[in-house]
Structure 1
Amino acid sequence: MPYLAFDLGAESGRAIAGTLREGRLTLEEIYRFPNEPVRVPDGLHWDVLRLFHEMQEGLRRAVARYGTGLKSLAVDTWGVDFGLLGERDVLLANPYHYRDGRTRGLMEEAFKVVPREEIFSHTGIQFMPINSLYQLLAWRQQQPGLLSQARTLLMMPDLFNFFFSGIKASEFTIASTTQMYNPRTGTWATGMLDKLGLPATLLPAINPPGTITGRLLPRVARETGAGEIVVIAPGSHDTASAVAAVPAAGPDYLYISCGTWSLVGVEVREPVINEQTLSLNFTNEGGVGGTFRLLKNVTGLWLVQECRRTWERQGEALSYGELTALAREANPLTTVIDPDHPAFLNPEDMPAAIQGYCRETGQPVPQTKGEIVRCALESLALKYRWVLEKLEDILGKKLEVIHMVGGGTQNELLCRFTASATGRPVVAGPVEATAAGNLLVQAMALEEVESIAEAREIVRHSFALKTYEAVKTGPWEEKYKAFVKLLG
């Protein structure tokens, strides 16, 4: 009898069934659907009702495949975005996309009321204009009438859990991405929110990962044929689920959950909130198994995804494999960028943005598609090294190995670049780490897997892993010096 994971990323969503047998987890993709934001006059939105329709279709197909034998379902998504419910639980608007520009300048406005240092001391979260805190400030500033009608704020996976079960609650790992949660007290940072004039009464109770939220609403159960199976909150933030499936056997490792974003970090038992992590703009997000994820959010393969989309609009449709092949043939270590520069957050033309950044920083300007993609991939590897070194400084120890998980591990060039840039072996896999972590937390909730350690042992026995040996060289050392100088 399988579990069912709904894993929603920035480009697509999947319904993935997982069967646990004799210490091995087998995955089967049941249904895949696009996740395309929609721009209308007031901004960029997620098409949340279409997404829920597709998730119900995924559930129907799982029932068609497995009958009524599904044990449970669970949803994970990206962080920071949310929906607002009004009276009678009416969804007041389609949730905004984190790349919408309406939060521009609102971090600085917030700091005038509550200083940056105080916000960090309350939340321990990396400062990014996309954070839920600034999105809620945008609601208050730009749509106060609608905000006054709101009764409940639900993060994206919590909103889908509500659609499935009718239960309004938040899950720890997704709540921790908001910059409105206090990891020291384990509660919402209501005092800080009061100072900013934000309604903390909107925020629901917080449950730990692995909580059985409830059962499918009777209507959903009937329409999908699934029966009233249980709905579980896994590590509802997709990175929390991915990290739960990191196949590490020891403590001294760095993880990189690599996709549209790259989440680069370590697991710790207590949040690390001090002047050093503040100055480095690191983040303390909730993890599975009583942990926190001390990490840096790094712009990931978004750089390549947007280049590909731009070239497709211009009439050249190339696969990721073809782009990687072009990058492989380009000259190495010619030009680097800071992947997290604001110029790359949501440009209309990513190749032009990369070329413009190189021009403005006095570097050779990449011209061909291969040169542009190679620049992006090498720059990501160098940023991973920068984060690695800063984390080693914070922890006072060497991180001996890098575990790379997620869809980005399919890009072997990026994996090799990471091993070369960092001088650490890179263990790549599993590709479907997020779905695997989601499914294994469901098994933990139903007491069929005892612990996160056992879950990771199951991952090691279930998926093919590939190791890229450390081969740090002189050219990488020289380019890293230039990269650090570029970061200022």
Structure 2
Amino acid sequence: MARVLAIDLGSSSGRAVRGEYQDGSLTYQEIYRFENVPVQKGRYLCWDFDLLLGEVKHAIEMAGDIDSIGIDTWGADFGILDKKGKLLMPPVHYRDRRTEGMTGKAQEKFSAKELFQMCGNQTYATNSLYQILALKETEPELWNQTAKILHMPDLINYFLCGNAVCERTIACTTQMLEPVSRSWNQRVLEAYQIPETLFAPLTDSGTVIGEYTGKGTKPVKVIAVAGHDTQSAGAAMTEDPDSTAFLNIGTWSLLGVERKQPILTDLGFELGISNEQGPYRDIQCIMNIVGTWLLQECRREWTAEGRMASYNELERQAALCDPFQCFIAPNSPDFAFPGHMPEKIQAFCRKTGQRAPESAGEVVRCIYESLALKYRRELEKLEQGMAEEEEKRPHAQKSAGRIEKLQILGGGAQSEMLCQMTADICRKQVIAGPVEATALGNLVIQLKALGEIADEETARETIRRAETMTTFIPNDEIEVRKAIENAYQRFKEIDN
């Protein structure tokens, strides 16, 4: 029997999931959960790294007899170390405002399209490139002391086993990694005067990088899994990736397809497609969409006002409201920062000539419908980009056809309302689950690294046997379709 521990760190909480694998069967359970609350350190919004590392070590102790551990986290954020391996400052939160204006300064050297064609990523102020440029500008003394830059999962691994690596799925969130060669883009590094020596050696996911020895525990192998949580979740897909797109819904929604080659065309750039390294040396072409962040922020405001309600109760209230009354553009900068989210949603609706939602149920319905409509729009863009890229390839290299199904992974798979809305609006069969996709992907990558699982298809089959999925069929009633198409046209007018 192999016993493995997945630590899945999200931007609001972390959890430890212990898995046991024997005779082709995987069982797992969550053994610990803890909050991940950003803290203000001087002028920066930061992650409480000492607390996070302590929680990880505590989880390892709670896990008992295990063979290995793997860490996955959100992308882009990093810690900086001096020559002695000391953390110079807490890792800065991607929502900190220090990157404001940095994308514009970066584009004085390369346009957003040029960066896309070199590195495969769309330009987001949260990308590591702009955080590094902000660090150089705002903290030149710290920058001069920086000997190593380690992204969050690599940073935790370093403090567990003492070995520094840069795992490729997390490295691709920097906007400095070439998608085909899977190495650093020298033109980008030289243009922005970022020495390659600041990064640890690039490593594939599923690599044993060292051992952790804690109090009362035997040595535990530390495995660099797919450090970017999106890619760990992608490793938990159970459907055929040639005909199925994945939609990992958490604080962010990541919609994507698994492919052998990146989409680097002009159209791919214009459509907003990003290319990321996948967990099994594939490329995942992804659309970044805001997710449950909007609902989390609303619920936080309502709770502070004394109107506490569970997510199930909020969905029940939303189900009682009339459909398609108003929409928001989920990725609008209006919703980028925390605070007063219900009021921001109401203000956006008024600004765009719509009736503003008043009750909590109306706000929740507005969020869910807007997300489902956004999923459809981004899915259509993804299909368009794939078709155009396919046309430019020799016939022998063409891959299988269009997207037929959508597999919803992560916490969003628990919402029957959102899953059914997505099926109806996208006109795709939706397979919901696994809910614990990120942790499960993390676990099977570890098992593959330990030699317990032979390959990617065996990993998928292992998860199929371990999980029960729910299927949602699109509602094809004529009146329903008419209402959806009308809503979609209205939505596209405000989703700029």
**What range describes the TM-score normalised by the shorter chain of this pair?**
over 0.9
Q: Percent identity?
A: 41
Task: For 1:361, give the aligned amino acid.
Answer: T
Whether 1:411 aligns to 2:415 is yes
Give the conservation status (yes or no) of the 8 Å contact 1:7–1:14.
yes
**For residues 41 and 352 of structure 1, what CA distance do their matches in structure 2 show?**
28
Whether 1:357 aligns to 2:361 is no
Deviation of 1:364 after TM superposition, in Å, equals: 1.0
Give the conservation status (yes or no) of the 8 Å contact 2:413–2:435.
yes
1:99 maps to 95
1:372 maps to 363
Runs of at least 5 residues in structure 1 that lack an aligned partner in the other structure: none
Task: For 1:3, give the aligned amino acid.
Answer: V
1:176 maps to 172
**For residues 40 and 208 of structure 1, what CA distance do their matches in structure 2 show?**
33
1:214 maps to 210
2:437 maps to 433
Give the conservation status (yes or no) of the 8 Å contact 1:326–1:370.
yes
Task: For 2:22, give the aligned amino acid.
Answer: R
2:79 maps to 83
Matches within 5 A, 1:470-481: 470-472=474-476, 473-481=481-489
Q: Name which of structure 1's ranges 477-486 and 431-440 shifts more when overlaid on structure 2.
A: 477-486
**For residues 23 and 329 of structure 2, what CA distance do their matches in structure 1 show?**
46
Whether 1:247 aligns to 2:238 is yes
**For residues 405 and 235 of structure 1, what CA distance do their matches in structure 2 show?**
16
**For residues 369 and 162 of structure 2, what CA distance do their matches in structure 1 show?**
46
Give the conservation status (yes or no) of the 8 Å contact 2:70–2:223.
yes
1:456 maps to 460
**For residues 241 and 214 of structure 2, what CA distance do their matches in structure 1 show?**
46
Matches within 5 A, 1:75-154: 75-154=71-150
1:465 maps to 469
Q: Deviations over 1:468-488 (max 9, x none)?
A: 101252111111111122224
Task: For 1:229, give the aligned amino acid.
Answer: V
Q: Deviations over 1:381-421 (max 9, x none)?
A: 01110111111112224211100010111111110110011
2:157 maps to 161
Q: Name which of structure 1's ranges 413-422 and 390-399 shifts more when overlaid on structure 2.
A: 390-399
1:36 maps to 37
Give the conservation status (yes or no) of the 8 Å contact 1:247–1:460.
yes
Give the conservation status (yes or no) of the 8 Å contact 1:158–1:168.
yes
Whether 1:316 aligns to 2:307 is yes
Whether 1:17 aligns to 2:3 is no
Give the conservation status (yes or no) of the 8 Å contact 1:126–1:296.
no
Q: Deviations over 1:215-234 (max 9, x none)?
A: 11xxxx242x2221211011
Whether 1:185 aligns to 2:181 is yes
Q: Deviations over 1:41-81 (max 9, x none)?
A: 31210101100101111111111xxxx3x111110001010
Q: Secondary structure at the match of 1:27?
A: strand
Give the conservation status (yes or no) of the 8 Å contact 1:261–1:298.
yes
Deviation of 1:250 after TM superposition, in Å, equals: 5.4
Give the conservation status (yes or no) of the 8 Å contact 1:124–1:271.
yes
> Which of the residues 464, 482, 488 maps onto 2:490?
482
Give the conservation status (yes or no) of the 8 Å contact 1:140–1:198.
no
Runs of at least 5 residues in structure 2 that lack an aligned partner in the other structure: 388-400
Give the conservation status (yes or no) of the 8 Å contact 1:289–1:451.
no
Deviation of 1:112 after TM superposition, in Å, equals: 1.3
2:393 maps to none
**For residues 404 and 221 of structure 2, what CA distance do their matches in structure 1 show?**
40
Matches within 5 A, 1:286-305: 286-305=277-296
Matches within 5 A, 1:273-292: 273-292=264-283
1:394 maps to 385
Judging changes above 3 Å, is the alpha-carbon distance between structure 1 residues 280 and 368 closer, same or farther for their aligned structure 2 residues?
same
**For residues 54 and 34 of structure 1, what CA distance do their matches in structure 2 show?**
9
Deviation of 1:113 after TM superposition, in Å, equals: 2.0
Deviation of 1:204 after TM superposition, in Å, equals: 1.4
Q: Secondary structure at the match of 1:162?
A: helix
Q: Deviations over 1:113-160 (max 9, x none)?
A: 222222112111021111111100110111111011000000000000
Deviation of 1:185 after TM superposition, in Å, equals: 2.3
Deviation of 1:431 after TM superposition, in Å, equals: 0.5
Give the conservation status (yes or no) of the 8 Å contact 1:347–1:353.
no
> Which of the residues 311, 316, 334 maps onto 1:325?
316
Structure 1 residue ranges, 4+ long, deviating more than 3 angstroms after superposition: none
Q: Name which of structure 1's ranges 313-322 and 4-13 shifts more when overlaid on structure 2.
A: 313-322
Give the conservation status (yes or no) of the 8 Å contact 2:249–2:412.
yes
Deviation of 1:254 after TM superposition, in Å, equals: 1.0
**For residues 220 and 303 of structure 2, what CA distance do their matches in structure 1 show?**
42
CA RMSD of superposed structures (Å): 1.2
**For residues 338 and 155 of structure 2, what CA distance do their matches in structure 1 show?**
29
Give the conservation status (yes or no) of the 8 Å contact 1:263–1:298.
yes
Deviation of 1:201 after TM superposition, in Å, equals: 2.5
Q: Secondary structure at the match of 1:176?
A: helix
Q: Name which of structure 1's ranges 26-35 and 313-322 shifts more when overlaid on structure 2.
A: 313-322
Q: Secondary structure at the match of 2:107?
A: helix
1:259 maps to 250
1:421 maps to 425
Task: For 1:406, give the aligned amino acid.
Answer: G
Deviation of 1:105 after TM superposition, in Å, equals: 1.5
2:50 maps to 49
**For residues 41 and 78 of structure 1, what CA distance do their matches in structure 2 show?**
23
TM-score (norm 1): 0.96
TM-score (norm 2): 0.94
Whether 1:444 aligns to 2:448 is yes
Give the length in aligned residue pairs: 478
Give the conservation status (yes or no) of the 8 Å contact 1:308–1:317.
yes
Give the conservation status (yes or no) of the 8 Å contact 2:287–2:382.
no
